[in-house]
Structure 1
Amino acid sequence: MTVCNHSRWQPSHDYRPLETTAERQAWRVVALTGVTMLVEIVAGYAFNSMALLADGWHMASHMLAIGLTALAYLLARRYAHDPRFAFGTWKIEVLAGFASALLLVVVVAMLAFESLWRLWQPQTIAFDMALWVAVVGLLVNLASAWLLRDTHEHVHSHGPAGGHAHIDHDHDHDHSAQAAGKDLNRHAAFVHVLADALTSVAAIFALAGGMWLGWDWLDPLMGVIGAVIIAVWAKGLLLETGKVLLDREMDNPVTARVRSAMAQEADTELADLHVWRVGRAQFACIVSVVTHGDGSADRYKARLTGIAELVHVTVEVNRCAAEQGTT
């Protein structure tokens, strides 16, 4: 009796990119932000400056968000081969992006409340000191944004190509041609940095107007405008990450391509279809077809080989003859 090599049908389900550049960049931003935070808080207590203290603690929340991004990369890499994760650990990164978006919502609420309160109850502003703080904050945020920039790297996922064929079921793992897709975790961190840079630019503009033109109201007004813009970014992040976490992919173009491929098979009706994302631009799908013919799972799988985004495919073939008690 010939012993079958089962490893051929059990490839890796780690669909994360091989590169670790984003993880290293995230930790560098955490370090840069942490140093700036400590300097501002120490200087704030030393010079009794509320402006420095406020910006220092704001940097602390910023460091928490970027730290969450870096930690997600670390955990996704550490548990990449843990069999408890049915389709790999990529969604840990997406979950971190969703949490970062929620933190942005908190930032928006705090910024809007404080700005509206200061419009109602104007405060005395130390323009010289606050302007320097805003400039330093902008420089740090620009450096962080450069580190977190999307370099559009073309990468491939872990795991060798493999396949599994059965009379009525088939699993296909094709990693030969995949697009990198958007890194939602790094994108969330980048939006955090961009939001901070926006508030710094707005603060510089408002403080300059207040110092040279006497427009004290400009500072809280720019805070309100900044809160609205950040809220729009946060909404976009929540929608993008939430869509992945909830497997809301049935309106994705990949789904339409699967339907079109199955429609080319004569005497075949697509009975059920499930498509969901397992990587940045990688998808898994379950296809159930009904036919009077003798088409095998291999035959229907062949129809889908041109869709490079599909890395895990299950095909179920149901024959109408089975309803009459025959197989």
Structure 2
Amino acid sequence: MLNFSHNHNFHSANLTAKKNTLYAMIITISMMIAEIIGGIYFNSMALLADGWHMSSHALALGLAYFAYIMSNRYKSDARFSFGTYKMEILASYTSALSLLVIAFLMIYHSILKFINPESIAYKEAILIAIIGLIVNLICAWLLRSSHDHHHNHHHHHDDLNLKAAYIHVLTDALTSILAIVALGFGLLFGADFLDPLMGIIGAILVLVWAIGLLRQSGKILLDANMNEPIISKVVDILRLFRSDIEIKDLHLLKVANDKYTCIISLNSIDPIDINLIKKELSKHEELVHIIVEIYPK
């Protein structure tokens, strides 16, 4: 095992999010098991289908919780030279992919219902949707409170792992709301077409959320950070420091929700004190790990 004097633990775990994600996962799994057992016992396909649908969100919550555990477990491991933050981002990206699958399945089954309408047990289905909505609102409140708590400490920066779990729960809550509206109109006015229509509308919203989450997490995984505002601040400091400095290379790597590693290669005619450059750059709290190389022109 490698040991270095410099600490690569740049990312502070969102402990509130970790705890509340576990609670949300337990609640979701409990509801999932109850619905599956109830569906089998009462011979209700609607109840059984909702139980299996909830299993996908239980899996996403489990993935988010696992990412928090692994990120914290290996945070001081020297093998992770830029910390373990990307474990959480990888979980976020995977959750976003699963949201895409859920959205396409929602569209597929909704189209099938348009083509081959089936009789709906409205009262039973509405009851299931209401129970599912209550469970998801509780989980959403748990995850939202974690999100707000984290923002109070880290300004506007998102915890994408938490955001992915939150969107999964929000997706299920949205599905329940749309289902209640569609089933209510179907029960009162016989508008059977609203059930698959609401399914397609919900799927489109899920697609939008999933694509946005994929872009955010994918950008971090691929280190596409060179358009971040901190870059212009770094360049301004280097230009003001010495007029003859030429920036040969500049890399910015995100190592936490609001922290970056900065690697700079410079060309200069005259010798420059690297420590002075680091001192100036360190005035920006976002930069937690600064590496500077200087080459003569």
Give TM class, smaller chain: over 0.9
- Per the alignment, do residues 22 and 115 of structure 1 end up closer, same or farther by CA in structure 2, a change over 3 Å counting? same
Indicate the residue corresponding to 2:7 in structure 1: 12
1:26, 1:152 → 2: CA distance? 14
For 2:148, the aligned partner's letter is T
Which range moves more in the overlay, 24-33 or 11-20? 11-20
1:129, 1:210 → 2: CA distance? 13
Q: CA deviation at 1:18?
A: 4.8
For 2:198, the aligned partner's letter is M
Specify the SS of the correspondent of 2:70: helix
Conservation of the 8 A alpha-carbon contact between 1:100 and 1:188: yes
Among 150, 166, 178, the residue aligned to 1:153: 150
Matched, 1:194 2:166: no
For 1:76, the aligned partner's letter is S
**TM-score, normalised relative to structure 1:** 0.86
Q: CA deviation at 1:19?
A: 4.5
Specify the SS of the correspondent of 1:51: helix
What pairs up with 1:54-65 in 2 under 5 angstroms?
Answer: 54-65=49-60
Aligned residues: 292
Matched, 1:21 2:16: yes
1:293, 1:154 → 2: CA distance? 44
1:187, 1:14 → 2: CA distance? 22
Gaps of at least 5 residues in structure 2 are none
Q: CA deviation at 1:99?
A: 0.4
Q: What root-mean-square deviation, in Å, do the aligned CA atoms of Structure 1 and Structure 2 show?
A: 1.6
Indicate the residue corresponding to 2:183 in structure 1: 207
Q: CA deviation at 1:115?
A: 0.3
- Per the alignment, do residues 294 and 71 of structure 1 end up closer, same or farther by CA in structure 2, a change over 3 Å counting? same
Specify the SS of the correspondent of 2:50: helix
Indicate the residue corresponding to 1:269 in structure 2: 246
2:106, 2:143 → 1: CA distance? 24
Indicate the residue corresponding to 1:240 in structure 2: 216
Q: CA deviation at 1:234?
A: 0.2
CA deviations 1:186-234 (Å, max 9, x no partner) are 0000000111111100000000010001100000000001000100000
2:13, 2:81 → 1: CA distance? 19
2:74, 2:123 → 1: CA distance? 50
2:13, 2:114 → 1: CA distance? 50
Which segments of structure 1 move beyond 6 Å, counting only runs of 4 or more? none
What pairs up with 1:41-52 in 2 under 5 angstroms?
Answer: 41-52=36-47
Among 265, 272, 297, the residue aligned to 1:295: 272
1:307, 1:227 → 2: CA distance? 42
Conservation of the 8 A alpha-carbon contact between 1:244 and 1:277: yes
Gaps of at least 5 residues in structure 1 are 1-6, 157-177, 321-327
Q: CA deviation at 1:60?
A: 1.1
Conservation of the 8 A alpha-carbon contact between 2:13 and 2:68: no
For 1:128, the aligned partner's letter is K
1:209, 1:154 → 2: CA distance? 40
Indicate the residue corresponding to 1:140 in structure 2: 135
For 2:121, the aligned partner's letter is A
Percent identity among equivalent residues?
A: 43
Indicate the residue corresponding to 1:161 in structure 2: none
Matched, 1:251 2:227: yes
2:156, 2:78 → 1: CA distance? 24
What pairs up with 1:165-204 in 2 under 5 angstroms?
Answer: 181-204=157-180
- Per the alignment, do residues 19 and 191 of structure 1 end up closer, same or farther by CA in structure 2, a change over 3 Å counting? closer
Indicate the residue corresponding to 2:77 in structure 1: 82
Q: CA deviation at 1:24?
A: 0.8
What pairs up with 1:312-323 in 2 under 5 angstroms?
Answer: 312-320=289-297
Return the index of the structure with the highest Cα Rg: 1
CA deviations 1:12-63 (Å, max 9, x no partner) are 2112225411111111111101110111111111111111000011111111
More helix by share: 2
Specify the SS of the correspondent of 1:27: helix
- Per the alignment, do residues 19 and 198 of structure 1 end up closer, same or farther by CA in structure 2, a change over 3 Å counting? closer
Conservation of the 8 A alpha-carbon contact between 1:249 and 1:277: yes
Indicate the residue corresponding to 1:68 in structure 2: 63
- Per the alignment, do residues 110 and 121 of structure 1 end up closer, same or farther by CA in structure 2, a change over 3 Å counting? same
1:63, 1:102 → 2: CA distance? 15
Specify the SS of the correspondent of 1:143: helix
